[in-house]
Structure 1
Amino acid sequence: MKSNISIIGVPMDLGQSRRGVDMGPSAMRYAGAVERLEALGYKLHDHGDISITRPDKYETGQAYKLKNLLQVVEANEILAMIIDQAVEKGNFPLVFGGDHSIAIGSLAGIAKHYDQLGVIWYDAHGDLNTEETSPSGNIHGMPLAVSLGLGHEKLTSIAGYTPKVKSENIVIIGARSLDPGEKELIRRKGIQVFTMHEVDRLGMAIVIERAISYLKPRTDGVHLSVDLDGLDPSEAPGVGTPVIGGMTYRESHLAMEMLAETGMITSAEFVEVNPILDEKNKTATLAVGLMGSLFGEKLK
């Protein structure tokens, strides 16, 4: 991986309905993310946290079906610009969330630098809803659809182009909670998904090997998006939308270690850490441990 890392915090909780995930970047820094990566020999450029505009309480839900649409768009435009500049400098963008709506800006800033950007979506959810299919109107359930060019124009046009990624360049790992509209879109677009059924039946090592074999010949860079709710709530309790039956701590470290060995990952984000719902910062500490494995930390 590149030796220079640009860290960008996005204290966003407007893409969903539960407060607290805006403290995720601070929780991961408090858990020693910067020190962990510096100890591995990386040079860090910490851009701090993006300033998030809070919606006026009277306008929330008034103008659009999508919750806090204008504020989510504003934050993601800023994130896309910062990431674009980081990639231009040759740095590895590492984003601390924040809810998963921030992936819209991450991919918007990254994808313009690749002809065939791949995406590994490590998540309990598909995040493939649109305004029409979403049961909630929460934008954190839409970033992958938006990046495919599907959804509200204000979201799909962030950074001035669409789509950001192609459906054949996406791999979802750990899915176990998909809405009907997402299942239909996965079938229609032929998106590669390894649900928890495949993880249980095949084992994480084979799932990651197949994901690598699938993406390596068709992509020139891979963005890794890690939603901490991909892990089982017993391992990662501090998330807003926990789904029982998720990936284990050890499976997740193995996944990160195997991805690190390939050198394929060119950008990453860790999202949905909610310290208010956590136990003694357990989930943020876990996220930092996964970062260590992704960036080459070894036991021997």
Structure 2
Amino acid sequence: MKRDINIFEFPLNLGLTKKEHEIEPGVKKLPDWLRKFDFHKRIEPNNIFRLEAPEYTMDFDEETQVKNSHQIIEYAKKQSELILKNFDKKIFNIILGGDCSILIGNAIALRKIGNFGLFYLDGHTDYIPPQLSPSGGVAGMDLAIVSGLGHEKLANIDNLKPYFLEENIFCVGNAETDDEEYVEQILNSKIHYFDLENLRKNGFRKTSEDFLQIIHDKKLDGFFIHFDVDILNDKIMPAVDSRMEDGIDYNDLKEILQPLINNEKCFGIEITILDPDYDEQGIYTQPFVENLIQIIKNKEE
């Protein structure tokens, strides 16, 4: 079944703390950067929607214990409105970040549509409370927030907490396994957790199929894919905010994503954290675009 595609551009970078050499994190350039490599043209979307992001700041909010909470909350509300206004269940949605905090707005929209699952494909769990975050950046705790953990202002926008039920979430690919306190958080949750080692043991395609079985058995309204490009091996994708050596390759990515994308209950995919400032010649972006288009367009029969 061929589905039409919409692209949403959410170039938000307020979830990240800028590095010393940066004026601001470059992830906000991601949609325009992919366009430069003909991603939009070759995907042939029906529509392209864009929501400009507020100017970058590093405002630490004492109440929520995170940076830029007010701006992120307001942006999330506008995001969800834009998605809901253009929602059509026959359409597959590609959502371009930005950093991982865009998940909040997407999650609010999905919660208003129904009961959705989440396949969280990321080199980190992003499942920690603010007190464990060294940076206070929402992008490092977005999975926790959309699961209902964290300050009510972020986790309970429009009284919709939790946006995703933990038992309907797969968190897949974490390579940051040395920090016991970090990993302990997600182990103590109801989230189905596969770190990088266990993902390999369980099998890339099988992990996706296990997730789809839950969506089917629970008769959920659909599901959403979060894809942070730092899940990819550093050799093929070093242009990210928080680099780690280990990760998956493009064949593994195809094995994971194709069963999900080809499922009619897949609302869409968000792509986050690719920073063009770390790939000025496009050496890593070009193969990324090639592989991603192939995965999205080459639907299995």
Q: What's the TM-score once normalised by structure 1's chain length? A: 0.87
Report the CA distance between 1:251 and its aligned residue.
0.7
Go from structure 1 to structure 2 and tell me whether the alpha carbon gap of 1:126 and 1:256 turns closer, same or farther (over 3 Å shift): same
**Is 1:46 aligned with 2:48?**
yes
Query: Counterpart in 2 of 1:111?
Result: 111
Q: Is the 8 A contact 1:24 1:284 kept in 2?
A: no
**Structure 2 gap ranges (5+):** 19-24
**Structure 1 gap ranges (5+):** none
Go from structure 1 to structure 2 and tell me whether the alpha carbon gap of 1:138 and 1:3 turns closer, same or farther (over 3 Å shift): same
Go from structure 1 to structure 2 and tell me whether the alpha carbon gap of 1:291 and 1:216 turns closer, same or farther (over 3 Å shift): farther
Q: Is the 8 A contact 1:105 1:158 kept in 2?
A: no
Q: Is the 8 A contact 1:170 1:192 kept in 2?
A: yes
Alpha-carbon distance in 2 for matches of 1:299, 1:163: 33
Report the CA distance between 1:242 and its aligned residue.
1.5
Query: Counterpart in 1 of 2:22?
Result: none
Q: What's the TM-score once normalised by structure 2's chain length? A: 0.87
Alpha-carbon distance in 2 for matches of 1:166, 1:23: 32
Report the CA distance between 1:14 and its aligned residue.
1.4
Report the CA distance between 1:185 and its aligned residue.
3.2
Relative to structure 2, which stretch is displaced further, 191-200 or 161-170? 191-200
**Is 1:269 aligned with 2:246?**
no
Report the CA distance between 1:274 and its aligned residue.
0.1
Q: Is the 8 A contact 1:126 1:175 kept in 2?
A: yes
- Residue identity over aligned pairs, in percent, reads 26
Alpha-carbon distance in 2 for matches of 1:293, 1:159: 38
Query: Counterpart in 1 of 2:32?
Result: 26
Give the alignment's Cα RMSD to 1 decimal.
Answer: 2.5
Alpha-carbon distance in 1 for matches of 2:117, 2:300: 29
Report the CA distance between 1:100 and its aligned residue.
0.5
User: What's the secondary structure of 2:217's corresponding residue?
Assistant: coil
How is 1:1-300 mapped onto 2 (pairs within 5 angstroms)?
A: 3-18=3-18, 19-38=25-44, 43-48=45-50, 50-54=51-55, 60-61=59-60, 65-87=65-87, 91-115=91-115, 117-177=116-176, 180=180, 182-218=182-218, 219-278=220-279, 280-297=281-298
Go from structure 1 to structure 2 and tell me whether the alpha carbon gap of 1:159 and 1:293 turns closer, same or farther (over 3 Å shift): farther
Go from structure 1 to structure 2 and tell me whether the alpha carbon gap of 1:261 and 1:93 turns closer, same or farther (over 3 Å shift): closer
Q: How many residues align?
A: 292
Report the CA distance between 1:263 and its aligned residue.
3.0
